[in-house]
Structure 1
Amino acid sequence: MKDSPLWWLFAATSVVIWFSVMLPAMPTRKHKAFVSCGPALAAVPLAAYCLKSKEPFTEILPFYCALIVSVPVGILGHRKALREVLSDPDIPYEEATGPWTLQAGCALVVFLGLASYYVAN
């Protein structure tokens, strides 16, 4: 299953999850445009790794799915608070932190750990 084309379906589902959770959490068009680049920008280093190591991209898709799903899982339950913080023009986007930061970090560790375990075995 590691090299299965089903991972493309999982990756597409991950992107749908990203957009369905992240876009409503963003207060302005600028924030929405910035967040919309996330799935594409996450694919760039993974594609570069695959080109350099001559590995098929489908073998690295579990990591892509883990990266893309972990951030929306991280803001679940905090969307309203995130919108409020991001809508405050005095707080730069880079400094808009809250409980969702810890939750997203933990989700990233868990999902990447699961993806690593899956790919290694």
Structure 2
Amino acid sequence: MHAPAIPLYAWWIISIAATLAFLIFFVTLMPTRKYKIQVCFAPVLGVAFGVASALLKDIKLEELLPMYSTALLVFPIGVMGHRREIRQKILNRSMHGEHPEDKPSRALTAQLTLSLVILGALMAWLTFT
């Protein structure tokens, strides 16, 4: 089965929407100004990686934008429903340093892993078929 033929302008819209969704989700999640600023660098790093890939590996935008969009959405989808847990763990870490009991719950780990697998497969399907 082949991926749908989505035009380039639509991928730009999808990529911008994915970036906004990521930023809205994580900036509102982060408990401190420091973490809010740090999380804003994720899309910037994604764009930098994309530009470098396009220049060095000659990857077309038609392939790059689906990769960027799906990779960026892995994290909000992967942690959705666990906002309270994540926020509390970040607050604990910022106030008391890193502790072994601050590791993520099994449910969060499973959801994030499943999100990575499903969206990774979607990215491969959209990009390579």
> Shared fold by TM > 0.5?
yes
CA contact (8 A) 2:71 2:119 kept: yes
Aligned to 2:89: 85
Counterpart amino acid of residue 37 in structure 1: F
1:28 deviation in Å? Answer: 0.2
1:11 matched to 2:19? The reply is no
Alignment root-mean-square deviation, CA: 1.9
Query: Structure 1 residues 97, 119: CA separation in 2 closer, same or farther (over 3 Å shift)?
Result: same
The secondary structure found in structure 1 opposite 2:8 is coil
Q: Could you state the TM-score of these two structures normalised by the residue count of structure 2? A: 0.81
Moved over 3 A (4+): none
Structure 2: gaps of 5 or more residues: none
Query: Structure 1 residues 76, 7: CA separation in 2 closer, same or farther (over 3 Å shift)?
Result: same
1:75 deviation in Å? Answer: 1.4
Q: Which has more radius of gyration?
A: 2
Structure 1: gaps of 5 or more residues: none
How many residues are matched? 119
CA contact (8 A) 2:19 2:72 kept: yes
Aligned to 1:116: 124
Query: Structure 1 residues 120, 2: CA separation in 2 closer, same or farther (over 3 Å shift)?
Result: farther
Residues in 2 aligned to 1:71 and 1:101: alpha-carbon distance in whole angstroms: 11
The secondary structure found in structure 2 opposite 1:82 is helix
CA contact (8 A) 2:8 2:61 kept: no
1:8 deviation in Å? Answer: 0.6
Q: Could you state the TM-score of these two structures normalised by the residue count of structure 1? A: 0.86
Counterpart amino acid of residue 35 in structure 1: V
